[in-house]
RNA sequence: GGCGACGUGGCGGAAUUGGCAUACGCGGCGGAUUCAAAAUCCGCUUCCGGAAACGGAGUGAGGGUUCGAGUCCCUCCGUCGCUACCA
């Protein structure tokens, strides 16, 4: 390596030159504030320009530093941001760090260093690496979710939800005070858990308070939660995968606990509907729809003993076929049967299934198990007694945790009925013998008659409607929409998260901390490790001085609680998702001190209109969003991984909708266009038996790959980068070896941004050589002098205009790979000819979004003193895009047989004549009859002849 | 099992609306330059046959629509991602 470098021309573009000019321009951009963008009201800010908010998903700053996968989306968004900036937009392109939460804390626990210290260190590493790529972030807007000035507002937004309820009349969040007014005026009646109405005037203060508390959007609820003893915390359903924690893969148990919850279920319909109006990948919208899991059906009450057993079904039309019922092992009915005394088989089954983790339940899901409860229910349609069973194939968490089993028309019920010899009847036409397999499709109802109603002959949809109407009139059922989505568990028993701005009095009643007393600071703790135990024990409980305080000290409004009242602080913390629910808002005005976001800045950066509003200084809270004229989402382009398709993106939408309802933000959706970059994978090798081999244990031989040790031939496959396969690529190494511009180009040249592609070290040299050729085209490699032509070449000029056109179009559709290919072609064409000053200037502008350091260098060598990043995108001359003469393929029966050179605007007749006059064509047509001629002007001629 | 995406040269990929399949890059081969090599520049490189002209096949497999299909429709196979007893 070093020997080769000695002979190299001293002014060749190589890693040394690249690294030198990269650090020079990076410092210069920092000093000049090149990428700092103002806000409305700032002195040099031109509010008349259109805005473009281009956002990256901010990273978790883990101790390991950036991965080559991180920059892929960031490079893409940087190219777009630079392009928009050069096209006259005010571009908001910020970066920050999602620094609270499990990953940072786990790392701290492992290394024994305080999470605050590891977080700061990791952020510094990330920032250094990000700056090394020359991204055009406005670093003056950098935020970290762990900053006190940031999480103060995370707490504030949470309090907003705490102080609000979901008004069913308007389908919007509203201050809880309005509910109180409604209840006091009698315009709205309270109802209890079962839905029965109560009298507000008849309730005492304490039950009134309790009632309001149950209506809050952020509320304290008793829930069976996912308790992970190893992580020492509870987890949201979304954080549990196959019965194990998403982070760490530890077993998760189910445990009833009193926890802070978010009433996200109230927003289910709006979260679902607005998916139709955002510009998001279909796959992500589908995933969110499925996660919300809306199903229309009915709840039906089956009389059991003195009471009812309520079930949910999407097929009420099959009620005549319900031959037994099943409740989940966790269902209260099971407890009452056990309490009344029963055989040990039931107790054993229930205890076993309740303790079974979901992993085990999954393992033998094919085998249906269950035990009869020994009691009977009455099928309200047939009037017959049917047995009630418990089985773990019915899930406690979905619907009412109980089902009517229709073995004729549900495969799971069918499997169960066969296993326990329960009766199967057919009530829907279609399918084969229901004894053999359930018929789950639709068809006309049959065998569905009683004294008062007949469904026979009705198609499935009509039968559903008719039977629900009947059930409603009988008072034993209701039309009902059920959701898979459940309320969001928002407490964590961890140290590294936002404390809740809540205190409890001695009676255990909760009180909010006033806005003015925020933030509730995370106390310093020497011992921040999670407590591994069977009982959730938040580590903050160890900070006794912090926990035990007075209402006045904690900042509770004196009107709510006397300042001297002793109180205990809430010791749970918020989950890692909290900070990422609104960070894109804070970027609008990161140092705003009196609000979570400055209203004028929020309105400018979030609200996109077809025609610019003349006045952007309206106060928040005014209803200004206009579905016709405004873009539904505020962020114009959001780029990030598909792994956040459900969790982060659903939570952020939910928070945004609350804030929108309360008049705090201008748009109903946070992200207008969403784009997922693909994953950067790597190569690995596979033995014949399917086992994987690490990259460094394999060498190339005779065009194939063999394992070093054994000489066994192995197959090259594509796999995720992993430590065990030793195929992880460190971006620092790549930058050192080729320069940041080369790495930027390589990642964009690998393929479409949305596609996953394997990192292939061997290919990087291709784009590096392109930069060398571009450099050599205008710079003398021996003495470093610029060499430009006095007069530009005509062919090169035409090619340049085509390239300007192509690159501009490709950037807008995020097809960076083909844009780069076009620039490579241009350089190849100009090689050996050279460029004039004007041509070189235009080409430099084209390069600027992709390779900002090289472009800045070129720009300054051209004698410019301001940054190329702030110049205008070059304009192409449309007349240069078309040739006078074009070559048109002539086909016979769809096969290209010849080509003719004709005027570009030649019409149908001219083309026809020219094609037939072609020597080769007339030869081939000899003896054939021309049946038809298809002529597409400017494209081709196809002769149908036989 | 369900949903979704994708299958194009030795490799990464291009073909934006049904219109010249394989742009561009890597790798490979050859040439120029060089004492020699590296680097650079030029050329060739889907496969089969042929010295070439040219012919034939060809976008996972099979079928269909069309003057014409990588692109649209049906069936199947394979890979990846998500999801998983959701009543």
A223-237: burial string, b at 16+ Cβ within 10 Å, e else:
bebbbbbebbbbbbb
Strand B footprint nucleotides (protein C-beta < 7 Å)? 3-5, 11-16, 19-21, 23-27, 37-42, 55-56, 67-69, 80-87
Which range among A279-283, A298-302, A818-822 shows the weakest confidence by mean pLDDT?
A279-283
Question: How far apart, in whole angstroms, are the C-alpha atoms of residue A715 and residue A520?
Answer: 57
Establish whether the CB of A945 is closer than 7 Å to any nucleic acid atom in strand B: no
Peptide bond into A644 cis (omega under 30): no
Residue A396 and residue A249 share a domain: no
Per-residue pLDDT at A620 = 40
Question: How far apart, in whole angstroms, are the C-alpha atoms of residue A661 and residue A755?
Answer: 37
Q: Does residue A605 belong to any structural domain of this protein?
A: no
Element of type H or E holding A378:
strand A371-378
Name the more confident of A64 and A146. A146
Which range among A151-160, A200-209, A341-350, A364-373 shows the weakest confidence by mean pLDDT?
A364-373
Question: For A742-791, how does the pLDDT look when each residue is reduced to its tens digit (9 = 90+)?
Answer: 999 999 999 999 998 899 988 999 999 999 999 999 999 888 899 999 99
pLDDT grade for A253, boundaries at 50, 70 and 90: confident
pLDDT at A929 over 80: yes
Q: What 3 state SS string does A263-278 have?
A: CHHHHHHHHHHHHHCC
ipTM of the complex: 0.95
Mean pLDDT computed over A635-653: 91
Establish whether the CB of A884 is closer than 7 Å to any nucleic acid atom in strand B: no
Per-residue pLDDT at A798 = 93
Element of type H or E holding A388:
strand A385-390
The residues of A between 588 and 647 with beta carbon within 7 Å of nucleic strand B are 642-643, 646
Establish whether the CB of A398 is closer than 7 Å to any nucleic acid atom in strand B: yes
CA A385 to chain centre: 49
Question: For A142-156, how does the pLDDT look when each residue is reduced to its tens digit (9 = 90+)?
Answer: 999 999 999 999 999
Per-state percent for chain A, helix, strand, coil, to nearest 5:
40, 20, 40
**Nearest nucleotide, CA A293 to C1':** B86
Specify the CATH number for the domain of residue A870: 1.10.730.10
- A579 neighbors A151 (Cβ within 8 angstroms): yes
Q: Which residue is listed with tokens 């076993």?
A: A352
The percent of residues in chain A predicted with pLDDT above 90, rounded, is 60
Q: Does residue A877 belong to any structural domain of this protein?
A: yes
Question: How far apart, in whole angstroms, are the C-alpha atoms of residue A817 and residue A751?
Answer: 6
Kindly report the average pLDDT of chain A as a whole number: 89
| CB atoms near residue A403 (< 10 Å) | 25
Per-residue pLDDT at A2 = 39
Residue A877 and residue A908 share a domain: no
Q: Does residue A846 belong to any structural domain of this protein?
A: yes
Establish whether the CB of A340 is closer than 7 Å to any nucleic acid atom in strand B: no
Per-residue pLDDT at A591 = 95
pLDDT grade for A733, boundaries at 50, 70 and 90: very high
Which range among A608-612, A677-681, A790-794, A933-937 shows the weakest confidence by mean pLDDT?
A608-612
Establish whether the CB of A484 is closer than 7 Å to any nucleic acid atom in strand B: yes
Residue A875 and residue A771 share a domain: yes
Per-residue pLDDT at A358 = 53
Compute the radius of gyration of chain A from its Cα atoms.
34
Per-residue pLDDT at A357 = 53
Per-residue pLDDT at A703 = 63
Residue A871 and residue A834 share a domain: yes
The residues of A between 898 and 927 with beta carbon within 7 Å of nucleic strand B are 899
| CB atoms near residue A598 (< 10 Å) | 21
Q: Does residue A85 belong to any structural domain of this protein?
A: no
Establish how many alpha carbons lie within 13 A of residue A143's alpha carbon, considering only the half-sphere containing its beta carbon. 29
Per-residue pLDDT at A229 = 81
Calculated CA dihedral for residues A228, A230, A232, A235, nearest 10 degrees: -30
Question: Gap from A824 CA to B23 C1', in Å?
Answer: 11
Establish whether the CB of A241 is closer than 7 Å to any nucleic acid atom in strand B: yes
Per-residue pLDDT at A702 = 63
**Nearest nucleotide, CA A327 to C1':** B87
Question: For A381-391, how does the pLDDT look when each residue is reduced to its tens digit (9 = 90+)?
Answer: 999 999 999 99
Question: For A888-923, how does the pLDDT look when each residue is reduced to its tens digit (9 = 90+)?
Answer: 888 888 888 888 888 888 888 888 888 888 888 888
- A943 neighbors A922 (Cβ within 8 angstroms): no
Question: Gap from A715 CA to B60 C1', in Å?
Answer: 19
Establish whether the CB of A317 is closer than 7 Å to any nucleic acid atom in strand B: no
Which SS3 state, helix, strand or coil, does residue A639 take? strand
Establish whether the CB of A757 is closer than 7 Å to any nucleic acid atom in strand B: yes
pLDDT grade for A363, boundaries at 50, 70 and 90: low
Name the more confident of A192 and A647. A647
Question: How far apart, in whole angstroms, are the C-alpha atoms of residue A453 and residue A451?
Answer: 6
Question: How far apart, in whole angstroms, are the C-alpha atoms of residue A649 and residue A656?
Answer: 10
Question: How far apart, in whole angstroms, are the C-alpha atoms of residue A56 and residue A715?
Answer: 36
**Nearest nucleotide, CA A405 to C1':** B87
Establish how many alpha carbons lie within 13 A of residue A723's alpha carbon, considering only the half-sphere containing its beta carbon. 1
CA end-to-end span of chain A: 64
Q: Does residue A712 belong to any structural domain of this protein?
A: no
Question: Gap from A119 CA to B67 C1', in Å?
Answer: 66
Establish whether the CB of A189 is closer than 7 Å to any nucleic acid atom in strand B: no
Indicate the length of chain A as a whole number.
Answer: 946
Start-end of H helices in A255-356? 268-273, 282-292, 332-339, 344-355
pLDDT at A724 over 60: yes
The residues of A between 788 and 807 with beta carbon within 7 Å of nucleic strand B are 806
pLDDT at A238 over 90: no
pLDDT at A242 over 80: no
Name the more confident of A292 and A4. A292
Which residue, among A272, A256, A674, A239, has the nearest Cα to A484 in the 3D structure? Answer: A272
- A257 neighbors A222 (Cβ within 8 angstroms): yes
- Of A562, A577, A592, the last residue of a domain is A577
Strand partners, A412: none
Establish whether the CB of A681 is closer than 7 Å to any nucleic acid atom in strand B: no
**Nearest nucleotide, CA A411 to C1':** B85
Mean pLDDT computed over A808-835: 94
Question: For A117-151, how does the pLDDT look when each residue is reduced to its tens digit (9 = 90+)?
Answer: 989 999 999 999 999 999 999 999 999 999 999 99
Question: What tokens appear for A430 in the block?
Answer: 């279609």
Q: Does residue A448 belong to any structural domain of this protein?
A: yes
Residue A335 and residue A188 share a domain: no
The residues of A between 698 and 727 with beta carbon within 7 Å of nucleic strand B are 720
Element of type H or E holding A606:
helix A599-606
Which SS3 state, helix, strand or coil, does residue A567 take? strand
Name the more confident of A936 and A379. A379
Residue A471 and residue A526 share a domain: no
pLDDT at A432 over 50: yes
Q: Which residues, 6 or more positions from A38, have their beta carbon under 8 angstroms from its beta carbon?
A: A44, A45, A90
pLDDT at A352 over 70: yes
pLDDT grade for A251, boundaries at 50, 70 and 90: confident
Strand partners, A504: A510, A568
Q: Does residue A327 belong to any structural domain of this protein?
A: yes
Q: Would the CA dihedral through A38, A40, A46, A49 be positive or negative?
A: positive
The residues of A between 292 and 311 with beta carbon within 7 Å of nucleic strand B are 293, 295, 297
Element of type H or E holding A403:
strand A402-405
Mean pLDDT computed over A395-408: 91
Establish whether the CB of A352 is closer than 7 Å to any nucleic acid atom in strand B: no
Residue A363 and residue A432 share a domain: yes
Question: Gap from A720 CA to B85 C1', in Å?
Answer: 31
- Tell me the pairing of strands A253-262 and A488-489: antiparallel
The residues of A between 825 and 864 with beta carbon within 7 Å of nucleic strand B are 825, 828, 831-832
Question: What tokens appear for A201 in the block?
Answer: 């005037």
What are phi and psi for residue A901, nearest 5 degrees? Answer: -100, 115
A171-204: burial string, b at 16+ Cβ within 10 Å, e else:
ebbbebeebbebbeeeebebeeeeeeeeebeeee
A925 class by beta-carbon count within 10 Å (0-12 exposed, 13-18 middle, 19+ buried): middle
Establish whether the CB of A32 is closer than 7 Å to any nucleic acid atom in strand B: no
Which residue, among A896, A903, A883, has the nearest Cα to A924 in the 3D structure? Answer: A896
Name the more confident of A853 and A495. A853
Establish whether the CB of A809 is closer than 7 Å to any nucleic acid atom in strand B: yes
Establish whether the CB of A21 is closer than 7 Å to any nucleic acid atom in strand B: no
- A86 neighbors A871 (Cβ within 8 angstroms): yes
What are phi and psi for residue A868, nearest 5 degrees? Answer: -65, -25
Mean pLDDT computed over A837-846: 97
Per-residue pLDDT at A905 = 82
Establish whether the CB of A269 is closer than 7 Å to any nucleic acid atom in strand B: no
The residues of A between 416 and 445 with beta carbon within 7 Å of nucleic strand B are none
**Nearest nucleotide, CA A936 to C1':** B19
pLDDT grade for A623, boundaries at 50, 70 and 90: low
Question: How far apart, in whole angstroms, are the C-alpha atoms of residue A898 and residue A900?
Answer: 7
Question: How far apart, in whole angstroms, are the C-alpha atoms of residue A551 and residue A926?
Answer: 102
- Domain extent at residue A441: 294-483
Residue A860 and residue A771 share a domain: yes
Establish whether the CB of A452 is closer than 7 Å to any nucleic acid atom in strand B: no
Specify the CATH number for the domain of residue A423: 3.90.740.10
Question: How far apart, in whole angstroms, are the C-alpha atoms of residue A841 and residue A792?
Answer: 12
Residue A493 and residue A472 share a domain: no
- Of A483, A516, A533, the last residue of a domain is A483
Residue A495 and residue A440 share a domain: no
Residue A863 and residue A788 share a domain: yes
Q: What is the residue-wise DSSP string for A414-440? A: HHHHHHHT------B--SS-TTTS---
Q: What is the DSSP secondary structure assignment for residue A788, as one 8-state letter?
A: -
**Nearest nucleotide, CA A805 to C1':** B16
- Of A443, A462, A483, the last residue of a domain is A483
pLDDT at A362 over 80: no
**Nearest nucleotide, CA A282 to C1':** B4
Establish whether the CB of A72 is closer than 7 Å to any nucleic acid atom in strand B: no
Question: How far apart, in whole angstroms, are the C-alpha atoms of residue A270 and residue A538?
Answer: 34
In order of A16, A68, A323, A680, A776, the CA distances from A760 in angstroms are 22, 12, 61, 10, 26
Q: Which residue is listed with tokens 């099971």?
A: A334
Q: Does residue A932 belong to any structural domain of this protein?
A: yes
- A188 neighbors A627 (Cβ within 8 angstroms): no
**Nearest nucleotide, CA A312 to C1':** B87
Tell me the longest C-alpha to C-alpha distance in chain A: 109
- Tell me the pairing of strands A172-175 and A96-97: unpaired
Mean pLDDT computed over A655-669: 95
Residue A321 and residue A203 share a domain: no
Establish whether the CB of A930 is closer than 7 Å to any nucleic acid atom in strand B: no
Name the more confident of A859 and A489. A859
**Nearest nucleotide, CA A828 to C1':** B24
**Nearest nucleotide, CA A404 to C1':** B87
Q: Considering only CA atoms, which residue is closest to the C1' of nucleotide B55?
A: A897
- For chain A, how many structural domains are there in total? 4
Establish whether the CB of A368 is closer than 7 Å to any nucleic acid atom in strand B: yes
What are phi and psi for residue A344, nearest 5 degrees? Answer: -70, -20
Per-residue pLDDT at A711 = 78
Which residue, among A523, A528, A521, has the nearest Cα to A108 in the 3D structure? Answer: A528
pLDDT grade for A613, boundaries at 50, 70 and 90: very low
Question: How far apart, in whole angstroms, are the C-alpha atoms of residue A775 and residue A844?
Answer: 11
- A843 neighbors A799 (Cβ within 8 angstroms): no
Per-residue pLDDT at A933 = 87
A527 class by beta-carbon count within 10 Å (0-12 exposed, 13-18 middle, 19+ buried): exposed
Question: How far apart, in whole angstroms, are the C-alpha atoms of residue A922 and residue A530?
Answer: 86
Question: How far apart, in whole angstroms, are the C-alpha atoms of residue A354 and residue A342?
Answer: 18
């Amino acid at each position: 390596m070093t020997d080769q470098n000695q002979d190299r021309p001293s002014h060749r573009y190589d890693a040394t030159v690249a690294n030198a000019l990269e650090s020079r321009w990076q410092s210069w951009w920092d000093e000049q504030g090149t990428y700092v963008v103002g806000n409305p009201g700032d002195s040099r800010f031109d509010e008349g320009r259109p805005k473009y908010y281009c956002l990256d998903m901010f990273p978790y700053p883990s101790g390991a530093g950036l991965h080559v996968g991180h920059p892929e989306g960031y490079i893409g968004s940087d190219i777009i941001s630079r392009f928009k900036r050069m096209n006259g937009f005010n571009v908001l392109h910020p970066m920050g760090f999602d620094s609270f939460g499990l990953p940072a804390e786990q790392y701290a626990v492992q290394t024994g260093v305080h999470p605050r210290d590891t977080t700061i260190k990791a952020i510094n590493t990330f920032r250094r690496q990000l700056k090394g790529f020359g991204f055009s972030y406005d670093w003056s807007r950098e935020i970290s979710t762990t900053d006190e000035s940031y999480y103060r507002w995370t707490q504030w937004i949470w309090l907003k939800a705490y102080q609000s309820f979901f008004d069913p009349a308007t389908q919007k969040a509203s201050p809880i005070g309005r509910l109180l007014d409604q209840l006091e005026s009698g315009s709205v009646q309270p109802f209890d858990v079962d839905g029965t109405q109560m009298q507000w005037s008849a309730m005492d203060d304490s039950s009134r308070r309790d009632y309001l508390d149950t209506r809050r959007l952020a509320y304290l609820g008793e829930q069976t939660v996912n308790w992970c003893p190893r992580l020492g915390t509870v987890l949201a359903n979304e954080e549990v995968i196959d019965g194990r924690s998403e982070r760490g893969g530890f077993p998760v148990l189910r445990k009833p606990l009193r926890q802070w919850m978010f009433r996200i279920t109230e927003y289910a319909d709006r979260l679902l509907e607005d998916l139709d109006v955002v510009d998001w990948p279909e796959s992500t919208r589908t995933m969110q729809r499925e996660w919300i899991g809306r199903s229309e059906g009915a709840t039906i009450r089956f009389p059991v003993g003195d009471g009812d057993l309520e079930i949910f079904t999407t097929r009420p039309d099959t009620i005549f076929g319900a031959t037994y019922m099943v409740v989940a092992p966790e269902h209260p009915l099971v407890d009452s049967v056990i309490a009344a005394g029963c055989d040990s088989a039931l107790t054993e089954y229930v205890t076993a299934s309740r303790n079974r983790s979901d992993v085990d339940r999954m393992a033998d899901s094919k085998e249906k198990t269950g035990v009869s409860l020994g009691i009977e229910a009455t099928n309200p349609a047939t009037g017959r007694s049917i047995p009630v069973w418990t089985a773990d194939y019915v899930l406690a968490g979905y619907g009412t945790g109980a089902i009517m089993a229709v073995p004729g028309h549900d495969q799971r019920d069918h499997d169960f009925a066969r296993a326990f010899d329960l009766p199967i009847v057919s009530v829907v036409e279609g399918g084969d013998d229901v004894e053999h397999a359930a018929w789950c499709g639709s068809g006309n109802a049959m065998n569905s008659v009683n004294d008062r109603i007949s469904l026979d002959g009705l198609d499935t949809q009509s039968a559903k409607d008719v039977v629900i109407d009947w059930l409603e009139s009988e008072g034993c059922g209701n039309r009902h929409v059920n959701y898979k989505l459940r309320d969001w568990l928002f407490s964590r028993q961890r140290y590294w998260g936002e404390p809740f701005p809540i205190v409890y009095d001695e009676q255990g009643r909760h009180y909010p901390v006033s806005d003015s007393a925020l933030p509730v600071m995370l106390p310093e703790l020497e011992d921040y490790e999670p407590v591994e135990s069977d009982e959730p024990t938040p580590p903050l409980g160890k900070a006794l001085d912090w926990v035990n305080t007075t209402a006045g000290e904690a900042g509770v409004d004196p009107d709510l609680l006397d300042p001297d009242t002793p109180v205990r602080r809430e010791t749970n913390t918020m989950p890692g998702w909290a900070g990422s629910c609104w960070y894109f808002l804070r970027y609008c005005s990161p140092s705003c001190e009196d609000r979570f976001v400055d209203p004028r800045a929020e309105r400018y950066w979030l609200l996109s209109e077809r025609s610019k509003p003349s006045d952007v200084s309206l106060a928040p809270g005014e209803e200004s969003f206009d579905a016709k004229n405004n873009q539904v989402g505020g962020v114009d382009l959001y780029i990030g991984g598909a792994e956040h398709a459900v969790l982060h993106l659903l939570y952020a939408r939910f928070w945004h909708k609350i804030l929108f309802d309360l008049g705090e933000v201008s748009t109903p959706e946070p992200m207008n266009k969403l784009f997922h970059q693909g994953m950067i994978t790597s190569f690995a090798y596979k033995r014949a038996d399917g086992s994987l081999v690490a990259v460094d244990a394999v060498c190339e031989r005779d065009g194939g790959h063999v394992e070093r040790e054994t000489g066994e031939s192995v197959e090259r496959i594509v796999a995720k980068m992993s430590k065990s396969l030793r195929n992880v690529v460190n971006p620092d190494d790549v930058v050192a070896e080729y320069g940041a511009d080369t790495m930027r180009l390589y990642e964009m040249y690998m393929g479409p941004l949305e596609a996953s592609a394997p990192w292939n070290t061997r290919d990087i040299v291709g784009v590096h050589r392109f930069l060398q050729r571009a450099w050599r085209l205008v710079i003398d490699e021996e003495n470093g002098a610029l060499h430009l032509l006095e007069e530009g070449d005509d062919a090169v000029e035409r090619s340049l205009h085509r390239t300007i056109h192509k690159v501009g179009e490709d950037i807008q559709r995020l097809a960076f790979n083909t844009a780069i290919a076009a620039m490579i072609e241009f350089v190849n064409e100009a090689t050996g000819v050279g460029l004039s000053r004007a041509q070189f200037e235009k080409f430099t502008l084209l390069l600027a979004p992709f390779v900002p350091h090289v472009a800045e260098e070129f720009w300054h060598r051209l004698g410019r003193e301001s940054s190329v990043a702030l110049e205008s995108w070059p304009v192409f001359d449309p007349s240069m895009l078309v040739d006078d003469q074009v070559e048109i393929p002539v086909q016979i029966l769809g096969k290209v047989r010849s080509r003719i050179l004709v005027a570009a605007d030649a019409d149908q007749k001219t083309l026809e004549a020219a094609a037939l006059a072609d020597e080769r064509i007339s030869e081939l047509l000899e003896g054939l009859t021309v049946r038809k001629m298809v002529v597409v002007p400017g494209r081709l001629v196809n002769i149908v002849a036989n």
